[in-house]
Structure 1
Amino acid sequence: MNDIPLVVHLIYRLDFGGLETLLVERINRMPAERYRHAVVCLTGYTDFANKITKAGVELHALGKQPGMSLGTHLALWKLLRKLQPTIVHTYNLAAVEYAPAALLARVPVRVNGMHGRDASDPDGSNRKHKLLRRLMVPFYDCCYANSADMLAWSRRVVGVPENKSCLLANGIDADRFNREGAATSPFADDAIVIGTVGRVQDVKDHATLVRAFVALRERMPELQGRLRLAIVGAGPLLEAVRAQAAQAGIADLVWLPGARTDVADILRGFDIFVLSSIAEGTPGSALEAMASSLPVVGTRVGGIPEVVDDGVTGTVVPPSDPQALAAAIARYAASPELAREHGRAGRERLQRHYNMTAMVAAYQSLYDTLCERKKQYRKVVKSCVE
């Protein structure tokens, strides 16, 4: 029997995304002699799974159907009894309800990560969602959050006790994301590229970004011929965004390539990074942009104001406000020097507060602490029985 503890990561779907990227990074980077890993997808996975380069990582798909799908709980229980992990680590609301199955499967340590709210409930006001989270808290040893905003919300609204909660910030490989090397872009060299990277879904509010780009062109007629927009990522609203751009008469100015694996190269082709979300945890895409020395224009939601130092590394604006977004972008388009200054400051901030090594160490420390706590508890219980 392998004495190295196994961590089972339970995720809705393993596909291109910020949460998924950082999950894979942690698996690949955590010392093999400390923890083994397996990934269990409630629904399925794509070729993105090939990014897992660590040897021996098992990948399972439960094929969950829409709705309650009670059979998925049973399937997970059976799988956990077979794998016998030391830790089950569930991610976000989509997987939070499976802690009882892990408990029944006698998994000693159970962890839930709050990396953002559900796309259909960006402000966390859904009563059923809040009730589900509250009911699940007793089944977990820790419910961490990846932003201070989400941590405060989980304690205040969900009722997670302080001794069961903590902040685990995201981290980025600054060596991978930088301004050196070739850039990937379909635009001319003199183009001013406003870009974003992320899944194309409601919570990212790309519709507001497109409207802001239209407003930007009206605001800056002298630069109109050079302004370009790049929206990189796949998702359920990709075709709707294409249609919106076409209807606005800017289809030839907007690049919508879908999901890409060469994000670092694509970011080198941007001049300004924009995050128009209506809800966020700690946005990994903004951190990648900062590592790439880009100024970041983001909305004042979730963990974005924690990441973007307003007026120093970028600009923070109200959500769902295309005019405010356009005005903030215009400052950088009109002043490349300011864009470079804020971009440099952003990279320095990232290296100090959001580095990859610190993130991996923090997760490993959490696992270590919880495993040791369970060992001590078992010793006490055994002593009392004797």
Structure 2
Amino acid sequence: MARRLVSMKKILIVNSLYYPHVTGGAERSLQLLAEGLKRAGMEPVIVSTADREQIDFVNGIKVYYLKIPNMYWMRTAKQQPAYKKPLWHLIDSYNPFAVSKLTHIINSEKPDVIHTNNLAGFSVAVWKAARKSNVPIVHTIRDHYLLCPNSTMYRNDKNCSKQCLRCRMLSSPRKRYSGLVDAVVGVSRFILEKHRKRDYFPDAKIATHIYNPSDSADTPASDRNDSNVVTFGIIGLLAPIKGTEYLIRRFASMKNNPAKLKIFGRGITEAYEKMLIERYKSDNIEFMGFKKPEGIYCEIDVAIIPSLCDDAFSRIKIEAYSHGLPVIATSMGGVPETVDNGKTGYVFDPSLEGDLESKIDKFISDPGLARALSPACREKAEIFHIDKVVGRYTDVYSQVIR
């Protein structure tokens, strides 16, 4: 059980989106943390953006859904005309309209700590509101938003080694106001150091990494059959930046390949998903559509994370480990940090021709390998246990409150 603070503390958690507006692993990780904090005796209060204002309760946790003035709500970005997007990003570099809304909530809730996360839609004006109210600020870095308006630092099919002029201009307020933050947490060492070496968070008294939590470390062994046919799975958004076609193309090109590849998730666009299905669907490549995690891991033996961009983290690893499954993971970004090569899976270099195929072949040539690695995967899952993650965060909160 997570450690309790001496007395109940109110934590105001700010994130771009919150349930039911879930677009990826960040929202799921944050919801797990908030609910874990509540079980540990604290009082989390959530503030997120939405297309209309309301106050609701999600699993007993108070949630403010705010409509922050801008050209459009961030979740509708794909449907917006191109001319609106530069204006949206310009306003989002520092959105003054967010200050008054956040200040009102801070004055009403009187939190002990403000814990900010993804800030797209709010902007770093949140930090200004917190500092005006003299409330300690903890920030968790979950992506590249503070460095890049697109949150990826990926352009023209490659990772950006440095910020372009546009990114430097739009992120200038983000860098400046990061000096208001008391403690900074990265969801990986990689993403923390990427910001620190660019002189973000210069006055943070605490700088550490805390991996995202798992909610299924006690998942029983699956009912996968004992067939010698190994089934691989790719899970999540189907997009070029995520390496979807990169993986499928290489899997399809492997000669005399008896294995199966199951693809779970939806395309970044309907057209992209349709193209993948028409081009690659076959007897051993199946497109499964969207499924909840509990319906995925019982169907596969190995999870593959083929991302081509520098992802800060990947929830797929911890979900796979929790189900006793090994992974084949990209060497990009923070993804490989928690892969023990040869014990919980294998890391491949996307820039090295044939490296992915060689890792896939390890499991094909030894159908019992996935099961042999399963105990180490379950053991690894323990470091992501929600109670341990909550304990790490409560330690950080305690230090900034002093």
TM-score bracket relative to the smaller structure: 0.7 to 0.9
Q: 84, 89, 102: which one pairs with 1:76?
A: 102
Query: Does residue 109 in structure 1 map to residue 136 in structure 2?
Result: yes
Q: Deviations over 1:182-206 (max 9, x none)?
A: 67xxx99776322122334454222
**More helix as a share of residues:** 1
Q: 184, 194, 201: which one pairs with 1:160?
A: 201
Q: 272, 275, 278: which one pairs with 2:305?
A: 275
Moved over 6 A (4+): 187-190
Q: Count matched residues.
A: 352
In structure 2, the CA distance between the partners of 1:200 and 1:253, relative to structure 1 (3 Å rule), is closer
Aligned residue number for residue 379 of structure 1: none
Query: Does residue 264 in structure 1 map to residue 268 in structure 2?
Result: no
Give the secondary structure class of the aligned counterpart of 1:196: strand
Q: 204, 208, 213: which one pairs with 2:242?
A: 204
Aligned residue number for residue 169 of structure 1: 211
Aligned residue number for residue 285 of structure 1: 316
Q: 107, 128, 134: which one pairs with 2:175?
A: 134
* Cα drift, residue 314 of structure 1: 0.9
Give the secondary structure class of the aligned counterpart of 1:57: strand
* Cα drift, residue 266 of structure 1: 1.4
Alignment of 1:303-322 (within 5 A): 303-319=334-350
Could you tell me how far apart the structure 1 residues matched to 2:341 and 2:23 are? Answer: 29
Percent identity between the two aligned chains: 18
Aligned residue number for residue 276 of structure 2: 244
Query: Does residue 145 in structure 1 map to residue 181 in structure 2?
Result: no
Aligned residue number for residue 48 of structure 2: 41
Give the secondary structure class of the aligned counterpart of 2:310: coil
In structure 2, the CA distance between the partners of 1:33 and 1:305, relative to structure 1 (3 Å rule), is closer
Query: Does residue 61 in structure 1 map to residue 103 in structure 2?
Result: no
Could you tell me how far apart the structure 1 residues matched to 2:12 and 2:178 are? Answer: 19
* Greater mean deviation of Cα atoms: 280-289 or 197-206: 197-206
Q: Deviations over 1:314-346 (max 9, x none)?
A: 111113667432331122123121222223322
Could you tell me how far apart the structure 1 residues matched to 2:375 and 2:183 are? Answer: 36
* Greater mean deviation of Cα atoms: 328-337 or 100-109: 100-109
Could you tell me how far apart the structure 2 residues matched to 1:33 and 1:340 are? Answer: 35
Aligned residue number for residue 120 of structure 1: 152
Aligned residue number for residue 287 of structure 2: 255
The TM-score with structure 2 as length reference comes to 0.76
List alignment gaps of at least 5 residues for structure 2. Answer: 1-6, 73-87, 146-150
CA RMSD of aligned residues (A): 3.1
In structure 2, the CA distance between the partners of 1:188 and 1:229, relative to structure 1 (3 Å rule), is farther
Could you tell me how far apart the structure 2 residues matched to 1:189 and 1:59 are? Answer: 49
* Cα drift, residue 362 of structure 1: 0.7
Preserved contact between residue 328 and residue 347 of structure 2 (Cα < 8 Å): yes
Q: Deviations over 1:1-28 (max 9, x none)?
A: xx95332222122204222112111211
Letter in 2 for 1:274: I
Could you tell me how far apart the structure 2 residues matched to 1:140 and 1:361 are? Answer: 21
Aligned residue number for residue 195 of structure 1: 233
* Cα drift, residue 93 of structure 1: 5.5
* Cα drift, residue 350 of structure 1: 2.3
The TM-score with structure 1 as length reference comes to 0.79
Could you tell me how far apart the structure 2 residues matched to 1:171 and 1:32 are? Answer: 14
Preserved contact between residue 133 and residue 158 of structure 1 (Cα < 8 Å): no
In structure 2, the CA distance between the partners of 1:358 and 1:273, relative to structure 1 (3 Å rule), is same
Query: Does residue 24 in structure 1 map to residue 69 in structure 2?
Result: no
Q: 356, 361, 369: which one pairs with 1:338?
A: 369
Letter in 2 for 1:78: H
Query: Does residue 5 in structure 1 map to residue 9 in structure 2?
Result: yes
Could you tell me how far apart the structure 1 residues matched to 2:306 and 2:331 are? Answer: 9
Aligned residue number for residue 219 of structure 1: 255
List alignment gaps of at least 5 residues for structure 1. Answer: 373-386
Could you tell me how far apart the structure 1 residues matched to 2:243 and 2:24 are? Answer: 16
Aligned residue number for residue 221 of structure 2: 179
Q: Deviations over 1:80-99 (max 9, x none)?
A: 33333332222136356133
Could you tell me how far apart the structure 1 residues matched to 2:239 and 2:132 are? Answer: 35
